[in-house]
Amino acid sequence: MEQEIKNAIGLGNPELVIESKPKPEPEPKPKPTVTIYDFSALLSKYEPPKKQR
């Protein structure tokens, strides 16, 4: 009777595998934000020189 109870709740079952604790996911790094001023500076830095008429 005791063995039947153990088998019913899975204690006598060799197929049971103890699950390991899930690894915590690393926190995502915040993306760098670009402001309109940064964008303007980048544009003026890499913009080709204007042609004079």
Residue from 21, 43, 26, 25 nearest 34 by CA: 43
- Cα three-residue angle 22-24-27, rounded to 5 degrees: 155
pTM, rounded to two decimals: 0.29
Label residue 51 exposed, middle or buried (CB < 10 Å: 0-12, 13-18, 19+).
exposed
pLDDT digits (tens, 9 = 90+) for 1-53: 887 877 777 666 666 667 778 888 878 788 778 788 888 888 888 887 777 66
Output the pLDDT for position 12: 63
